[in-house]
Structure formats: C-alpha cells, structure tokens
Chains A and B, each alone.
Chain A
Amino acid sequence: TLRVKILVLGDSGVGKSSLVHLLTNHSELTNPAWTVGCSLQVGLHEYRSELTGQAERLFFLEFWDIGGYPMHKNSRGVFYHGVHGILLVHDLTNRKTELNLSRWLHESCLGADTPPVLVIGAKSDLCKADALAKRPNGGEAAARIGCPEILLSCVDTRSLSAGTTNAVKLDRFYDQVIEYRLRPRASTPPRVGQAISRPNRQQSKLLHGE
C-alpha cells in the first residue's frame, strides 16, 4: 500500500487540527490543543484509475498538520520535502487568514512544480449565511492560486458526508494527489544540507513486519 504526503497549512487557530480529525476519524475533535511542530494523522482512500482500468487500490493519506506560529517559521522547513498535495485552510470569520494563504503556499513550495492544492474555508457555522452565498465558486485566495475551494464546518460531520459537493471535490483532490504521486518523473538530487532519514532495518521490521 502506497502513501501520499499532504500538508495542511494555515494561520494559527483557523481549525487545521479539527479539520484533519474530521477527515481521518469522521468525527468532531472534542478538545483541540495548540499544535506545536507537526501533528501527523492518517486516513484511507480507495483509488481507481480510469485510464488503466485497474482494480481499486488502497492508499494511505498522511496529513501533516503543521502548527502556524509565526515564530516557528525558521524550523518548519524540515517538513516541506516530498510533498504530494497541499490543503490550505483559512478561517471564514477572519479575512486576514485568507490573505495570508499565498504566503503559506510560497513558503512551502520548494521545487519547480507545485503539487495539487485545495483551499478549505473553515468555521462556516460561525459565519453569516449571506457572506457564504457571495462565494459560490471560491474566494479570492482560491482564484489567485487557481484551485477549487470547499466551505465547511469542522464540528459538523455532515459537511463531508458522501454525495455532497464538498465530498466530491475532496475525492477529486485525493485522486489528483495520488496521480501526482504515481506519475513518473526524473528523480531530483537531494538539496545540500537536507537531512535524509533512513530508518534502520530493525525499526522497519518492527513497524512493517508484525
């Protein structure tokens, strides 16, 4: 089973941890705490490739939920390698968080080509209905980056139930991420000074063998 790495980025306090909990456990996060560094959660996705017509394959989606403190900016660079998809999260009640999304994208995109991006507007339950109605096809940030947008509330498990537009857009995003992961591309040499982690054989046996 293959894994894909999806970064979850956004300002501090927008609801990234709640969102990731909703995506992986399909339930509400009852006691959110400040994320320091990176919190890793794993979800499952079944991918059927229309082109090759293969059977469905199960993929592990690793969500790297990175804490948004401005003072930790100098140490976050270690998480940005080998990324296959990016979720940009902003708070619908605070417009400044949406304006900062392009800065987050710029900070995390290290290579020449950008992986698939999806913009998510969180806390829609705290927002007035007319403000939501003004943005049916995505707000400013999504338009500038050129990617779709989902509006949801992380405390409402029905926002992502099967069949809704949100769930369809999310599935399409996952498929794009997996296709980005599977496509053949020239291997890039590691950057100077980049840490290369190779788990030793004993650790691998413990983790994967069982």
Chain B
Amino acid sequence: MTVGSDSVVMLASMCAFFALGWVFFLKHLFRDYEVRHWIVLVSFSVTFALSCGMFELIIFEIVGLLDPLSRRLWWRLCIFAMLILVMVVLPYYTCYFAISSASFLPRRRSVRSALALACWLGFVWLFWRLGDPFPILSPNHGIFSLEQCIGRVGVIGVTIMALLSGFGAVNYPYSCMHVFVRPVTQSAVLGIERRLLQTLDLVAAKRRRAALLRRDEAQSRQASGWSLPWTAAAAAARRSGPTAASVESEAANHEELGRQLFLELHELKTAQERAAHSRTLQGRYFNLLGWVFCAYCLWKLCSCTINIVFNRVGKVDPVTRALHICVQLLGFRLDVQFWSQQVSFWLVGIMAVTSIRGLLLTLTKFFFALASTHSSNIMVLLLAQVMGMYFLSSVLLMRMNMPAEYRHIITQVLGDLQFHFYHRWFDVIFLLSASSSIAFIWVAHKQTVGKSEHESLLLR
C-alpha cells in the first residue's frame, strides 16, 4: 500500500467524520438557533473530524492497517492541525465574537479584529505561563517546539478529563440508583400548585390596582398640565393612598415568591417523573448500571489513592496483565500476540466510542443549560475548544492502556513528554473532583430530604 492510496482512505474517513460533526451540530446542538456565521460550524466540524481521526489512527496502529510511514505522516498532520485549531483559530474567534456581542465597543470590523487579536495574544501569554510550574518536559527542548504546546494542552485537557470523570462517576450512580429516588406524593404537588396560583392571584390583584392608579395619575397629569415626576408624586401624596410605584414594588415582591414556588414545583415534578421512570423496565436496567458504576467508582477512588500515596507507577498495561494472569495463573494456552492485539483493539475501540459519546452528551447538556441567543456562538466555540483539548489528552492517557508494541507510535508522535506526570495529575484531580462531588451531592440530598419531610408534616 502506497502513501497515496492510504491518504485517500484517510481523507475519505476524515470527510465522513466531518459530515457527522456537521449533522450533529445542525440537527441537535444548534437546533433552536440559526447559523449566522459559518466559521463556527466549520471549526466545530473540523475539531470533531480531527478528534475522531486520531482515535481511528490508534485503531489502525493496533490492527496494522495502512503503511507505517503514512500513519506517522497522518499522525503528525492531525496533531499539528489540532494544535493550530485549539491554540489559534478557536481562541481568536471566541475573542472576536465576545467583542462583537459587547455593545459598547465600536462596530467597525477592523477595530473588532484588532481588539480580538490583542485578546488572543493575552490568551497565548496566559496559556504559556500556565505551563511553567508543571514538570511537563525534559529540558533539552526549545521554547517553541511542538512538545511545549502539546504539554500545555495536555495539562489543561487532563484536568478537564479528570474533573468530568470525577463528577460523572459520582453523579451517574446517584441519578440512576433507586435508593436515592425521593418519593413525591400527588398531594404535595397539588399543594405547591395551589400556593403558586394563589400568589399569582395576589400579584394580579396588585398589578390591576397599579394599572388603575397609573391611569388616574396620567389623567390628572394631563388635566393639570404637569409633566414633572416630583409634582406628580406630590399630587399623589396629597391624594391619600399609595402611588402606582409602591403598589408595583409590592407586586414585584410577591412575584419573587412566585418564582421560588415555581422552581420548587419544577423540582417536585422532576422527582415525580424520576420515580415513575424507575418503575419501568428501562429504569430497572439503569438501576443495575448504576450499581455497576458505583462499584467502578469506588474501585477507581481506591486505586487513585493507592497510586498517589505509594507513588506507584504502572509499568504494565491492563491488557498484558490480564493475559499474563490467564496464561500463567489460570493455565490457558493462548497465542499472546494474537489475543493481545484483539483485546487491545476492542478495549481501545470501546473506550474511544464511549468517551466521544460521553463528551458529546455532556457538552450538549452544558450548551442547552447555558446558551442563549446572544451567547450561542461563543458557547459552541468554547465547547469545541474543550472537545479538542479533551481528545488530545485522552490520546495521551490512552497510551497507558495499550501494550508496549503499540505505545511507541504515540511516544514518537507526541514527543518525549513525562507521561507519568500526566497520570499522576489525572489521579490527583480525579480524587479531588470525586470527593467534592460526593460532599456536594450528599449535602444537596440531605437538604431535599429534609424539605420533603417538612412539607409532608405541614400537609398532615
């Protein structure tokens, strides 16, 4: 297989991934907004295509597809393009759109571009300073080498990965397992609905009064020709009774109470839906998954703690260790080479697919919660940047899970990084994130349980 035909295969798969990212963006992520700037759509799709391409190259490495030379070439291309995206294109456009949405800045395009460039330079400086305290790489590298950039991107990406994994490992069992489902009675829901409607009645009554008072004030102002606000207030003071403004502020207070009641109602309804879902077949399946995940989370916490406390550096990857156990301790007769390749392929494949899917789901959730009409472009660019850094670091960390003969391509391409540092950093941040998530969720759970007990006491 020549470099030419391999490149055709790689290009075709990249185009397929690009199309996938495009469709995901238009049909799912941006379904409530209109795409007004095509650069946002293109940069998101290109980031997604490059990320999937990197995973694909790892798989090809394991299976032995394509010429090694063309693989190395495509690796370098992917890494270089990803770095340019994550460090140059995405931050610059984020700054540009942030400046465009600020209404107090001038509207001319040249001014905006210059300001965006200045912000981008600030970002690059900050990015550089971020990596100084970390023992990222050995001292025999220049200032602007590839390894410096990858090292810094890797630190940020590994931090994000560990934070998300830590929180996800704790939150997923909590949201799936039935022991945490809060029982909500229909009478509690009806009670809150009744109180909400009563509060809105109060608000309506006050605002009706304010509307009449405003009309009277406007008529009296027209009749006597006064147009100054303090004379109108003086006239109102002479007329005994409240002004429209004071009644309006009372109504605003009641409306605030109504807002709190609405949020409480929303919580109760969500809990009710969850309880109903837990009784279905799908709910039971998720419950089982929740228990499995709970066990995985505890095991991971223990192993992270042990790694940190004993400063253990894993030399052997899980695949080789599992095969070693099978052959030597259990006495199976296996062709280690063949099975090592198969198991690595399936392991890496599953890890790649689940991490892509998991990240896309998390990013979508963040986007739907935080985006609005004004900030949709900026949010998507930030999410694309997070996605790029995340996938670059997951390639870095995946090196640990592969047998030695497949590791060297990553080592070659990413340069001479201190890989052990990244694993240690991941363990530390994972531990911090998981323990603070446990604390946070425990406190929130205690609060909601206390509130529902209080309400059921009131109703009785």
A residues sitting closer than 8 Å to B (CB atoms) are: 3, 11-13, 24-25, 36-44, 60, 62, 70-72, 74-75, 78, 91, 93-97, 100, 193, 195-197, 199, 203, 207-208, 210
Contacts and interface: CB of A to CB of B under 8 A. Distances in A.
B373 interface: yes
A62 B201 CA distance: 10
A75 B207 contact: no
A193 B186 contact: yes
Interface residues of B, number: 42
Interface stretch (B66-74, B208-216, B354-362): B208-216
A197 B198 contact: yes
Contact of B194 (A72, A75, A197, A207): A197
Given A78-B196, A207-B205, A37 B263 contact: yes
Contact of B207 (A42, A74, A196): A42
A13 B372 contact: yes
A107 B388 CA distance: 39
Given A37-B258, A195-B190, A93 B208 contact: no
21 contacts: A12-B372, A13-B372, A37-B261, A42-B210, A44-B211, A71-B266, A71-B369, A72-B262, A78-B196, A78-B197, A94-B33, A96-B31, A96-B32, A96-B34, A193-B186, A196-B194, A197-B198, A199-B198, A203-B198, A208-B205, A210-B209
Interface in B323-358: none
A71 to B, nearest CB: 8
A83 B215 CA distance: 25
Given A75-B262, A96-B31, A41 B215 contact: no
Nearest to B203: A40
Contacts of B212: 44
Given A36-B262, A193-B190, A42 B372 contact: no
Given A94-B373, A193-B190, A40 B204 contact: yes
Contacts, number: 93
Contacts of B211: 24, 42-44, 60
Contact of A37 (B194, B262, B373): B262
Given A40-B207, A44-B211, A74-B269, A13 B198 contact: no
Contacts of A71: 266, 368-369
Contacts of B262: 36-38, 72, 75
A179 B194 CA distance: 28
Interface of B: 31-34, 186, 190, 193-194, 196-198, 200-212, 214-215, 255, 258-259, 261-263, 265-266, 269-270, 273, 368-369, 372-374
A1 to B, nearest CB: 8
Given A13-B373, A44-B211, A96-B33, A74 B202 contact: no
Contacts of B209: 210
B194 A39 contact: no
Contacts of B204: 3, 40, 42, 62
Contact of A197 (B201, B205, B273, B368): B201
Contacts of A210: 209
Contacts of B200: 38, 40
Contacts of B273: 74
A199 B262 CA distance: 19
A92 to B, nearest CB: 11
B198 A38 contact: no
B201 A75 contact: no
Nearest to A203: B202
A66 to B, nearest CB: 10
A156 to B, nearest CB: 17
Contacts of A36: 259, 262-263
A38 B202 CA distance: 13
A197 B197 contact: yes
Given A13-B373, A42-B211, 5 more contacts: A38-B200, A38-B262, A39-B255, A44-B212, A60-B211
Given A42-B211, A193-B190, A11 B265 contact: no
Contacts of A78: 193, 196-197, 265
Contacts of A195: 190, 193-194, 197
A197 B190 CA distance: 10
